[in-house]
Amino acid sequence: MIANRSDMAVLKPFRIGAAEPWHFTIWPGVALIAALIVAVGIGEAHAAAAERPGIVATILKWTPLLAQGFALNIAMSFLAMAIGTAVGVPLGLAQISLLPPVRGGSWFVTQFFRNSPWLVLLFYCMLLLPFEVRVGDVVIPLPGWLKSTIGLSLPVMANVSELVRGAVRSIPFGQWEAAESVAMSRAQTLRMVILPQCIKRMTPPWMNLYAILTVATPLTSVVGVSEAMTLTGDILSSEARTELLVPMYLYLLLWFFLYCYPIARATLALEKRFQVR
Amino acid sequence: MAWSRDQPLVRLRDVHKTFGGGVEVLKGVSMDVKKGEVICIIGPSGSGKSTLLRCINALVPIDKGSILVEGQEVNDPKLDKLALRRKVGMVFQQYNLFPHKTALENVMMAPVHVLKRDRKEAEAQALALIARVRLQGKEAAYPGELSGGQQQRIAIARSLAMNPDVMLFDEVTAALDPETVKGVLVTIRELAEDGMTCMIVTHEMGFAREVAHQVYFTDGGLLVEHAPPKQFFANPRDRRTRQFLDQIL
């Protein structure tokens, strides 16, 4: 690119893809592990001085419990993503409906939940949903983790709705015209021409949304769900050792990082691949 | 009123179209196209040529006037658009092939899903059409793997698969690399020679001279004049036509 070669002090054009954005390099992971090692080291020194069990030994002792809590985080993220997508896709399609009331209503619902703080939605779900639902003679209990999963699925739903609307609108208008000119109906055009092309465009941002949702699941600790964040707090209060504080939370961070970072990488790789066509 | 073959296949009377924003692109266009006739529409950019074609298959609704296709009024709120579009094929400047489908699937899609034809039968027809546009061997290729000219020929085959009575061509070579233009023009010429009714918006004067039975000149939303190509290019009557031809020839 000749345009990028200049000896003069000019602002060079910004090239997308020229370098990986900083948040997609491995450095955050390295920094996190380095911080953990330093924190453990300092903690070990303290522990040795006070003749208490080592930091590493303590962390390992609690790891099975932490893993249980983390499994709940993952389960909630899966379920919230599934519910949010299952409801969000029809909601997004309603946003491109030809019927103004349907379009307006779905637009309002989408904007409402997309622009509400996740934590507020969580509180609403915890407080407004009953602790059990009675369907005939069957009583379905609604434990806290399930209620907060529903709470998390609301913003996911709204974001998926926007993804669908945006993806449909990003398909060139000529695709609609071409389908119409071979006498395809609107429903056929959507189903066979527009949506198949949308899926490809939607996958990377959808995965990105999943990663955001996963790191948001510790919010549920505020409303008392026994997930990894809550359990970390419980562990720390039962150990009652200040030198554990920093290593333990860093350890928790590492779990989330190791889970979400590959998703971010895969998202980037998919985006790059789709750009070629 | 039943339509009979000796009446114009496409009949436009005083067609008006104003786009939102108040731009009047068609200011009263009238024309008749007989069955088997090939007409070329030329004129400066923005003179309403593409809009005119889009009105005929109801991609663009008109404000005033009448468009009859085989006796069926297009300017009618109760119009069965899908029935109309089965009779009117259209090919676009940007080809608009479905990029997630192979060439064969592009050609087969509408016959199978719109006309509800048997899949085997539709496939046989699609293969024949792809051969007709001289792209045998490209059946399994995706649009992204084809040149512009090849994509445009597949787009023509896709339109033909609906067995239309009239074909609309909207500047179909304008976006092509020069070396691929000829193949597309040959395809259209062969269609015309086979008796297909064609309405062709084009900037290819040589092509218009060669295939058209009538050449129409549009300017400022009006049909300025029309004549058989020999007469049109040798003795244009209107000053605007002469100016336009002087500029480009």
Write the DSSP string, A116-140.
S-HHHHHHHHHHHS-SEEEETTEEE
Question: With an 8 Å Cβ cutoff, are A277 and B99 in contact?
Answer: yes
Distance from CA of B177 to the nearest CA of A (A): 19
* Residue found by looking up tokens 């658009």 in the block: B81
Question: With an 8 Å Cβ cutoff, are B109 and A182 in contact?
Answer: yes
Question: With an 8 Å Cβ cutoff, are B85 and A180 in contact?
Answer: yes
Please report the ipTM that was assigned to this predicted complex.
0.92
Mutate to test the interface with A, among B112, B113, B162 (most CBs of A within 10 A): B113
Residue A141 backbone dihedrals phi, psi, to 5 degrees: -75, 145
Domain annotation for chain A: domains and CATH numbers: 27-276 (1.10.3720.10)
Distance, in Å, from the CA atom of B4 to the CA atom of B11, rounded to the nearest integer, reads: 13
pLDDT recorded at residue B222 = 92
Report the residue from B90, B98, B113 with minimal CB separation from A175. B98
Q: What is the DSSP letter of A6?
A: -
Closest residue, chain A, to B111 (C-alpha)? A182
pLDDT recorded at residue B61 = 93
- Provide the whole-model pTM: 0.82
pLDDT recorded at residue A3 = 46
pLDDT recorded at residue A20 = 52
Residue B201 backbone dihedrals phi, psi, to 5 degrees: -90, 125
How far is C-alpha A36 from the chain's CA centre?
A: 24
pLDDT recorded at residue A251 = 92
Question: With an 8 Å Cβ cutoff, are B90 and A192 in contact?
Answer: no
pLDDT recorded at residue A44 = 82
Report the residue from A181, A192, A200 with minimal CB separation from B109. A192
pLDDT recorded at residue A72 = 95
Cβ contacts of B22 within 8 Å, gap of 6 or more: none
pLDDT recorded at residue A4 = 46
Question: Which of these, A138, A126, A130, A110, lies nearest to A219 by C-alpha position?
Answer: A126
Distance, in Å, from the CA atom of A137 to the CA atom of B173, rounded to the nearest integer, reads: 70
Start-to-end CA span in chain A (Å): 21
Question: With an 8 Å Cβ cutoff, are B100 and A175 in contact?
Answer: no
Q: Average pLDDT by consecutive 10-residue portion of chain B (249 residues)?
A: 80 93 90 94 90 94 94 91 94 94 96 95 96 94 94 96 95 90 93 94 92 93 93 91 87
| Cβ contacts of A185 on chain B, cutoff 8 Å | 82
**Parallel, antiparallel or unpaired: strands B214-219 and B222-227:** antiparallel
Question: With an 8 Å Cβ cutoff, are A182 and B98 in contact?
Answer: no
Compute the Cα dihedral for B135, B141, B143, B146 and give only its sign: negative
Question: With an 8 Å Cβ cutoff, are B96 and A180 in contact?
Answer: no
Distance, in Å, from the CA atom of A158 to the CA atom of A166, rounded to the nearest integer, reads: 12
Cβ contacts of A48 within 8 Å, gap of 6 or more: A54
Distance, in Å, from the CA atom of B107 to the CA atom of B127, rounded to the nearest integer, reads: 9
Distance, in Å, from the CA atom of A164 to the CA atom of A94, rounded to the nearest integer, reads: 10
Mutate to test the interface with B, among A180, A181, A191, A273 (most CBs of B within 10 A): A181
DSSP lists the bridge partners of residue B32 as B11
Where on the phi/psi map is residue A17: left (φ > 0), alpha (ψ -120 to 50), or beta?
A: left
Identify whether the C-beta of residue B132 lies closer than 8 Å to the C-beta of residue B193: no
Question: With an 8 Å Cβ cutoff, are B100 and A277 in contact?
Answer: no
* Residue found by looking up tokens 């244009």 in the block: B236
| Cβ contacts of B116 on chain A, cutoff 8 Å | none
pLDDT digits (tens, 9 = 90+) for B169-196: 999 999 898 888 999 999 999 999 999 9
Distance, in Å, from the CA atom of A200 to the CA atom of A212, rounded to the nearest integer, reads: 20
Give me Rg for the CA atoms of chain A: 24
Compute the Cα dihedral for A237, A239, A242, A246 and give only its sign: negative
Question: With an 8 Å Cβ cutoff, are B88 and A181 in contact?
Answer: yes
Distance, in Å, from the CA atom of B2 to the CA atom of A25, rounded to the nearest integer, reads: 72
Domain annotation for chain B: domains and CATH numbers: 10-248 (3.40.50.300)
Q: Which residues of chain A have pLDDT under 50?
A: 1-4, 6, 18, 276-277
Cβ contacts of B32 within 8 Å, gap of 6 or more: B8, B10, B11, B12
